[in-house]
Amino acid sequence: MTMKFFGFVAVVVVGILLLAATGDFPEWGDPHSPASEGQVSSFYIERTVNETKVPNMVTAVLADFRGYDTMFETVVIFIAGIGIIAVLRNFGDGAAHVPDPPEPDEGSDLIVRSTCRLVVPLIQLFALYVVAHGHHSPGGGFQGGVMLGASYILLALACGLPAAKRRMGERKAITLAASGIIIYAGWGVACMFCGGNFLDYASLDPLLPGDKAMARSHSMLVVEIGVAFTVTAIMFAIYSNLSTRGRLEKGL
Amino acid sequence: MIWQFDIIILVFMVVAAIIALRVKDLLGATLVFGIYSFLICLLWAEMGAVDVAFTEAAVGAGVSTVIMIATVFATARRSRD
Amino acid sequence: MEFLAAGFIEDHIVPKFNYWIYVILMMIGLYAMITKNNLIKKLIGMAVFQTAIILFYVSIGVKEESGIPILSHGQHHAIVDEGRPSEEVITKEKFANPLPHVLMLTAIVVGVSTLGLALAITQRIYISFNTLEEDEILDQLRRGGHD
């Protein structure tokens, strides 16, 4: 009870302080607020298309101007996935554990299984489209990767975890996650070999078709594919470990 | 930016957050939290942050609801508060 | 008194009502994190807190007359293919600020993977203590029997 009381007092005090601070915020939607007037965001809005030929500013800023940020966010996702496996993964106690008999795509219901068979390829196709078309429309590596991972999760929910594990085993998932980061970082190192800085895509101009701006545009696609690999694998690894208490057997 | 639309979604969000935290059945709480995520996604689409809205629809409303449900099924479903 | 309250609402709450609601959401999350007994409820509170912060960040980038931060096909064509200077084609006020969107996009995805890690630790706690209620876990810890 005392905890509740002190918690409430703390929340009220912090809330009043924050509400008092709202008076100093700029007006809602003010185009001349400090955040929108600043050099950086004006540069992003006005110069992105000249420098990278990518109409979607968010993708351009994400994968090119703030490439370091995105790379280490991807590493954080990878580390979180490895952490989940380290905390929860249970390899059983060796001989005492009898493996389940191999079951053919067992699942709840014929209708659910058939619908899943029909829908999963469509989801995966759309996810690939989202990754590839992130330059021109909302989307990119994170969204596409999550959708690809969600398609495997759907498979695991409808047909049982073994069916999904045959397509995306644990070893495969970790390899895929690591290879995503290696693609991202390797592309940055490739820039260094071509005489630029780390993740300075413009220096890859001799290797890629088009001029410097097109080289940056193409490099963004490569980097997004790397991000998508990592996110796909880690999302599925998170689900498969959490739904089975780390045993990776039956699933929900 | 339509402020009427904005305020309706924001009020729904506060309601959804309070319900998610008060329901004693954890499965219900998780599902109401999924609703909260969809509302926030709607709000972002309305603010012009389409990439963020897309991410939230895929991640916040999709995957995080699923992994929370997975945890609820792997542990206890009832909560005392 | 009534007049004062109405004036306060008109001067301080109405122009900044979204900021007020963000603060309310944030405080709901904080209160849940402090006082809730169940670990999953605490995590839901944490997620509410997190979304309130993300909401605040994204709303900084909004401009009154702005659309989405993606160039239309015509604008893209005019700059890339016809070579017109971008300052001429793009008006800054017509585009939402992309910088907060980028920062928060990655924050959401990282948020879900850290939520997954938190849920994994929750499951580990459940395996060890067979409960998710904080006070019961503390009781078991006080009685000993756990290393």
pLDDT digits (tens, 9 = 90+) for B40-51: 999 998 888 899
C117 to chain A, any CB pair closer than 8 A? The answer is yes
pLDDT, mean over chain A: 86
Report the pLDDT value the prediction gives residue C147, as an integer from 0 to 100: 55
Quote the CA–CA distance of A161 and A172 in Å, as a whole number. Answer: 15
Query: Which ranges constitute the DSSP H helices of A106-140?
Result: 110-132
Tell me, what amino acid is at A113?
A: R
pLDDT at A107 > cutoff 70: no
Report the pLDDT value the prediction gives residue A181, as an integer from 0 to 100: 94
Q: Per the CB < 8 Å rule, is C55 touching B40?
A: yes
pLDDT at A213 > cutoff 50: yes
| Residue B68 Cα, gap to closest chain C Cα (Å) | 7
Report the pLDDT value the prediction gives residue A157, as an integer from 0 to 100: 87
pLDDT at B29 > cutoff 60: yes
Quote the CA–CA distance of C75 and C70 in Å, as a whole number. Answer: 10
CB C60 within 8 A of CB A33: yes
C90 to chain A, any CB pair closer than 8 A? The answer is yes
| Chain B environment of C54 (Cβ under 8 Å) | 52
| Residue B55 Cα, gap to closest chain A Cα (Å) | 5
* For chain A, percent of residues with pLDDT exceeding 90: 37
pLDDT at A148 > cutoff 90: yes
- Low-confidence winner among A32-46, A97-111, A229-243 (lowest mean pLDDT): A97-111
The more confident residue out of A13 and A2 is A13
Tell me, what amino acid is at A90?
A: N
Q: Per the CB < 8 Å rule, is C38 touching B60?
A: no
Q: Per the CB < 8 Å rule, is B67 touching A56?
A: no
pLDDT at A97 > cutoff 60: no
- Structure token pair of residue A136: 């021109």
The more confident residue out of B17 and A31 is B17
Tell me, what amino acid is at C84?
A: R
Best probe of the A interface among C28, C48, C103, C117, by most A CBs < 10 A, is C117
Best probe of the C interface among B40, B63, B65, B78, by most C CBs < 10 A, is B40
pLDDT at C3 > cutoff 80: no
Report the pLDDT value the prediction gives residue A179, as an integer from 0 to 100: 95
| Residue C23 Cα, gap to closest chain A Cα (Å) | 7
With contact defined as 3+ CB pairs under 8 Å, the chains touching B are A, C
Report pLDDT digits (tens) over C54-79. Answer: 998 888 888 888 788 888 888 888 88
B-C interface: how many C-beta pairs under 8 angstroms?
129
- Structure token pair of residue A65: 């101007």
Q: Per the CB < 8 Å rule, is A77 touching C75?
A: no
Q: Tell whether pTM > 0.80.
A: yes
| Chain B environment of C116 (Cβ under 8 Å) | 67
The more confident residue out of C24 and C80 is C24
Q: Per the CB < 8 Å rule, is B63 touching A252?
A: no
pLDDT at A120 > cutoff 80: yes
CB A176 within 8 A of CB A125: no
Report the pLDDT value the prediction gives residue A224, as an integer from 0 to 100: 92
| Residue A193 Cα, gap to closest chain B Cα (Å) | 33
